[in-house]
Structure 1
Amino acid sequence: MTNKWKWIASAVVLPVMLSGSVAFAFSDTKGDPAEAKIEALQKEGILNGTNGGKFAPQAALTYDQGIHLLVKGLELNIDNIRFIKEPKASDYFKKVSDSAWYSQDFIIGQFNLGLPQDIDPRGTITREQFAVLLSNAINQKGTFPVIALYNFLADEGSVNQEASGSIQFLLNTKIAKLNAKNEFRPKAAITRSEAADLLYEARAFVTSHTGSEQAPSAEPGAEPTSQPGSGSSSGHEGVGNVITEAALQIDKVNEAINKVTLTVQVPHPGYGVEITGIEFPGGGKAVIRYRLTDPDPTKFYPMVVSSAKVSTYLSSEYTPTAEPAN
């Protein structure tokens, strides 16, 4: 295998908007419904404002601001993705300059959020569009069991069908709420204040489900319904009674590159999967080696069969297969 195929993407240092810790509160958020959440996010260095110390809470959120907010606020990255060439924003987007301060955010967003090629960085984001992006970002942080209840929306007829599931997810997790008229207002441009409110709640939700959890209460002498993660396994031998053979999904990124996603069934959401390397034995074949990652032994997981996924990117010249790591 030549060095050409051993290249692994590293974080590209590009100019980005500074968002370090700020000592003083924004001067224009007093009385805003999300004032306390905006202040909390500002203190963590996630939100930034103008040179005049303002946040502009009622201004419409634009895509460059929104993608940066999600990438930074939910700590999205491409650390586990292997590339055959250094990724550039112009490889995936028609209107995103490689020199823009947000270009790295859009590259990360492409692989975590699912962004269209013709996305306009200065275009405004509607509430339903942000719901889709936010739910996609949350699902990159883990598998979260959610009771699937249907929430009635008075303006359901205005919701894009592709956004309906994301909106229901945010409502069922209590990250989002309807207004007093049971409206979500899907087509309205989301404000910077509303986006900060949703991000704050999303971060709290992810933290509460990925931090240490107590075992569920049970009657005296009863066995708990969830059990801590323990042990590890990889390859076709399986974990418990679940075969860990990976299913492959191939999605065309462009004429030269395919996105290959490996999906492995695991006994509970504590297990993950990672790619350990890619071999090129010849004949236009690529063998993706993978293994399962251990559950956190300090956490309790619902014993529900789940899917663990990991993606990589390959030249379209190769036909991929997946094999467990030796």
Structure 2
Amino acid sequence: MKNKQKWMTVVAASVLTLSLSAPTFAASGDFSDISKVPGHEKIESLKDRGFINGVTDDQFKPNQTINSAQGVQMIVKSFQLSLAAFNFIKAPEAKDSYDNVKDNVWYSDAFIIAKLNGVDIPENVNPASKMTKEQFTTFVMQAMEKAGNLPMINIKPVDIKDDSKINPSYQGAIQRSLALDINTLDSKGNFDPKGEVTRAEAAVMIYNALEYMSKIKTPTIDPIPEPSPSPSPSDDSLDK
């Protein structure tokens, strides 16, 4: 286990903020290759809000699969995770948390930020490995629940036909994603947990999660009225 004390926070330390520097492309105009993609309007919405970019100026490549570095970058950027609330004795490095994530490359900061914000990415993650649907779903749910400070909820489990293929550690997050309409099953009731997630699937999932967060209203508590002052007893009521 990595030395978590390297991240020990102190009141007097300076706040560390990390910027994400993944390769980006111009975001002006509409993508020319998503008009027939389910959820294309959600993809455009994320692009307009600056959360995702195209592979080129006008192409999103919706069916292209994503690797772990791209997936983590997308999650951190979309949920606006940061280290603004942390103070450090020393700046955290990727090697403090991961075996295979390099420092000082475009995805380093995203992995650091995700880990410190409760996204449970395995220590042995390979940034170049393709991200599966069950992995991406779990990381999205963890990021959403952290960013939105959402309480854990009791849900009625959804019947998933290929449930036996799901990694047990991911089942809870997948069930919550289905209950909250962040994910859907296919026409046969399968989730396809081991399938490699595409750029379009990832974008739609993130959009749905952000929409869910936007609809959560903080409950308002009416102020408790102060009791009316008791009338002072008259002199006639006092014992002589």
Scaled to the shorter chain, the TM-score interval is 0.7 to 0.9
Check if 1:137 corresponds to 2:137: no
Which of the pair is proportionally richer in helix? 2
SS at match of 1:68: helix
Specify the alignment match of 1:60 in structure 2: 65
Give the letter aligned to residue 68 of structure 1: Q
**Compared CA separation, residues 14 and 173, structure 1 to 2 (3 A):** closer
Q: Please report the TM-score for the alignment, with normalisation by the length of structure 2.
A: 0.81
**Compared CA separation, residues 56 and 14, structure 1 to 2 (3 A):** closer
Give the letter aligned to residue 143 of structure 2: A
Q: Please report the TM-score for the alignment, with normalisation by the length of structure 1.
A: 0.61
Which one of the candidate residues 64, 71, 75 is aligned to 1:70? 75
The number of residues matched between the two structures is 213
Check if 1:104 corresponds to 2:109: yes
Write the distance in 1 (CA, Å) between the matches of 2:198 and 2:144: 20
Check if 1:36 corresponds to 2:41: yes
Specify the alignment match of 1:228 in structure 2: 221
**Compared CA separation, residues 25 and 98, structure 1 to 2 (3 A):** same
Write the distance in 2 (CA, Å) between the matches of 1:177 and 1:13: 33
Specify the alignment match of 2:100 in structure 1: 95
Contact conserved, 2:31 with 2:60, CA < 8 A, in 1? yes
Which one of the candidate residues 124, 131, 136 is aligned to 1:118? 124
Write the distance in 2 (CA, Å) between the matches of 1:207 and 1:109: 21
Write the distance in 1 (CA, Å) between the matches of 2:171 and 2:222: 33
Residue 175 of structure 1, CA deviation:
1.1
Which of the pair is proportionally richer in strand? 1
**Compared CA separation, residues 230 and 98, structure 1 to 2 (3 A):** farther
Q: Percent identity?
A: 28
Which one of the candidate residues 214, 223, 226 is aligned to 1:207? 214
Specify the alignment match of 1:257 in structure 2: none
Write the distance in 2 (CA, Å) between the matches of 1:208 and 1:129: 25
Give the letter aligned to residue 115 of structure 1: I
Check if 1:12 corresponds to 2:5: no
Specify the alignment match of 1:236 in structure 2: none
* Residues 38-90 of structure 1: per-residue CA shift (max 9 Å, x gap): 11111111111123521111111111111111111111122222322111222
* Residues 201-248 of structure 1: per-residue CA shift (max 9 Å, x gap): 0000011104x6xxxxxxxxxxxxx652769xxxxxxxxxxxxxxxxx
**Compared CA separation, residues 171 and 71, structure 1 to 2 (3 A):** same
**Compared CA separation, residues 24 and 180, structure 1 to 2 (3 A):** same
Contact conserved, 2:99 with 2:124, CA < 8 A, in 1? yes
Unaligned runs of 5+ residues in structure 2 are 1-8, 225-240
**Compared CA separation, residues 166 and 194, structure 1 to 2 (3 A):** same
Unaligned runs of 5+ residues in structure 1 are 213-225, 232-326
Write the distance in 2 (CA, Å) between the matches of 1:42 and 1:15: 17
Write the distance in 2 (CA, Å) between the matches of 1:93 and 1:12: 17
Which one of the candidate residues 61, 64, 84 is aligned to 2:89? 84
Write the distance in 2 (CA, Å) between the matches of 1:161 and 1:12: 33
